[in-house]
């Protein structure tokens, strides 16, 4: 895939803005602040194409990026505090509409912060992806933040947590050091 050709396509805040698409889609989901948008930028080798921030909840819309025959779909993060219950509802509505519309979702990428591991909402997300019969992988991001031994321990914990799934693919990743980028790009090529 020629990532030089990656460009922003559309932002959808409301279900009415979702459009019919014939293209294959790769969708990034996960808690707020785990690094979904940063990973997309890393793949594209562009610093600021996808919006990132230190403030959780930066991505408020579903953002579509166009790369040749694929859309990369950057989801808003979940895991908002109780104060923002309305945001949770908004997220669920938009997500439900996205996933239940007739789209060619070839791959879902669940991003986890390796320091925090699998949280309740991540399990809910997985249940939902299974229910939707979507093929998905897990990225353990921010491995630059941990020592080698901690990476091993936390990875094993996630593997145990996910042992109910058969052959789930897990990629260790860091947008800071570039670990995992080639592995992810190689995988993406198989979906073109």
Ligand X SMILES: Nc1nc2c(ncn2[C@@H]2O[C@H](COP(=O)(O)OP(=O)(O)OP(=O)(O)O)[C@@H](O)[C@H]2O)c(=O)[nH]1
Specify whether the CB–CB gap between 32 and 80 falls below 8 A: yes
SS3 assignment, position 175: coil
Shorter beta-carbon distance to ligand X: residue 82 or 133? 82
Choose the one of ligand X, Mg ion, none that binds residue 34, judging by a C-beta under 5 to 8 angstroms depending on kind: ligand X
Shorter beta-carbon distance to Mg ion: residue 52 or 154? 52
- In angstroms, give the least distance from the CB of 163 to ligand X: 25
Binding range to ligand X, per CB under 6 A, among 27-35, 62-70, 87-95, 117-125 = 27-35
- What are the φ and ψ backbone dihedral angles of 14, each rounded to 5 degrees? -130, 155
DSSP 78: B
Chain residues 126-185 in contact with ligand X, contact rule CB under 6 A: 141-142, 144-145, 174-176
Chain residues 59-118 in contact with Mg ion, contact rule CB under 5 A: 59
Lateral strand order in the sheet of 170-172: 7-12, 62-67, 70-74, 24-30, 104-113, 136-141, 170-172
CA-based radius of gyration for the chain: 16
Task: List residues near ligand X by CB under 6 A.
Answer: 30, 32-38, 52-54, 56-59, 76-77, 141-142, 144-145, 174-176
């Amino acid at each position: 895939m020629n990532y030089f050709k990656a460009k922003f396509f559309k932002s959808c805040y409301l279900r009415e803005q979702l459009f019919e698409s014939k293209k294959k889609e790769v969708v990034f989901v996960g808690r707020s602040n785990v690094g979904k948008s940063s990973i997309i930028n890393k793949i594209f080798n562009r610093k600021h194409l996808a919006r990132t921030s230190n403030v959780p909840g930066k991505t408020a819309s579903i953002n579509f990026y166009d790369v040749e025959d694929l859309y990369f779909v950057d989801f808003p993060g979940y895991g908002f505090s109780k104060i923002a219950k309305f945001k949770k509802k908004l997220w669920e509505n938009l997500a439900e509409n996205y996933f239940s519309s007739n789209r060619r979702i070839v791959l879902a990428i669940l991003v986890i912060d390796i320091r925090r591991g699998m949280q309740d909402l991540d399990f809910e997300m997985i249940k939902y992806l299974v229910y939707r019969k979507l093929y998905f992988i897990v990225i353990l991001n921010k491995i630059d933040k941990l020592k080698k031994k901690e990476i091993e321990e936390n990875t094993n914990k996630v593997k145990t947590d996910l042992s109910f799934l058969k052959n789930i693919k897990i990629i260790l990743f860091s947008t800071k050091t570039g670990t995992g980028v080639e592995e992810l790009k190689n995988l993406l090529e198989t979906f073109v």
